Chain A
Amino acid sequence: GQQVMQIPQYQHVQEGEDFTTYCNSSTTLSNIQWYKQRPGGHPVFLIQLVKSGEVKKQKRLTFQFGEAKKNSSLHITATQTTDVGTYFCAGKNSGYSTLTFGKGTMLLVSP
């Protein structure tokens, strides 16, 4: 079955530092989605990437989809305390109806 690996598992940064989480799939994906889960909350959709090499930005967040559509990254510039939470990638293989979630990267930002 498809597997989605996500690293790092955990990262602690000082406010203002940058942060990146990486996602790798064992198979080629038809699309990849990113979600954020605040402590005590539920996952919330951030974005979906579909095209090979696609780059999308949401304010300080930059999302990339690899050329081979097997990896993706989320980069946060100048982190803020409001960025605290766990970021999950979720990939979909064209042969499946379900998304496979990575294990998530827990981000802690110290003021």
Chain B
Amino acid sequence: GAVVSQHPSWVICKSGTSVKIECRSLDFQATTMFWYRQFPKQSLMLMATSNEGSKATYEQGVEKDKFLINHASLTLSTLTVTSAHPEDSSFYICSARDRGTGFAGELFFGEGSRLTVL
């Protein structure tokens, strides 16, 4: 099946620094990728929809200046957590849909990135 690679799988950083997380579709092209945040034992909270070649669409309550998303190619989207603070500590997961399946296709998830801000 299709593979989505997410890197890094875990990161620890100091408060005030920025952290970049990459999401790559390895064997398919994705015009759209999604970024989620997941707290322990809770559901996936959609943060934003990343669109190749255009601006990301952010969900209500998600600060676009805090969570910068770039989708520069059909196989790569990045999420940058700027000026991270301890409350940003969470599990961040990306997902992607094969452009060939349109809006109805299944989502392929990355392995997730666990961010800990000290």
Contact = CB atoms under 8 A, between A and B. Distances in A.
Interface string A24-44: 000000110101000001111
Given A42-B112, A43-B109, A48 B104 contact: yes
A104 B43 contact: yes
B108 to A, nearest CB: 7
A101 interface: yes
Given A98-B46, A102-B43, A106-B41, A43 B106 contact: no
Given A42-B93, A42-B111, A42-B112, A98 B34 contact: yes
B36 to A, nearest CB: 8
A45 B4 CA distance: 13
Contacts of A44: 109
Band of interface residues on B: 10 to 19
A99 interface: yes
Given A42-B109, A42-B111, A44-B109, A101 B104 contact: no
Contacts of B41: 106
A103 B107 contact: no
Nearest to A1: B60
A66 to B, nearest CB: 18
B104 A30 contact: yes
Interface residues of A, number: 23
Contacts of A103: 42-43
- Scoring A33, A44, A88, A98 by chain B CB atoms within 10 A of each residue's CB, the highest score goes to A98
Nearest to A10: B41
Interface in B70-118: 93, 95, 103-104, 106-112
Given A31-B104, A98-B49, A99-B107, A43 B32 contact: no
A92 B104 contact: yes
- 8 smallest CB-CB distances across A and B, nearest first, come from A103-B43, A45-B106, A42-B109, A43-B109, A101-B44, A104-B43, A97-B103, A42-B112
7 contacts: A30-B104, A31-B104, A42-B110, A50-B104, A88-B44, A98-B49, A104-B43
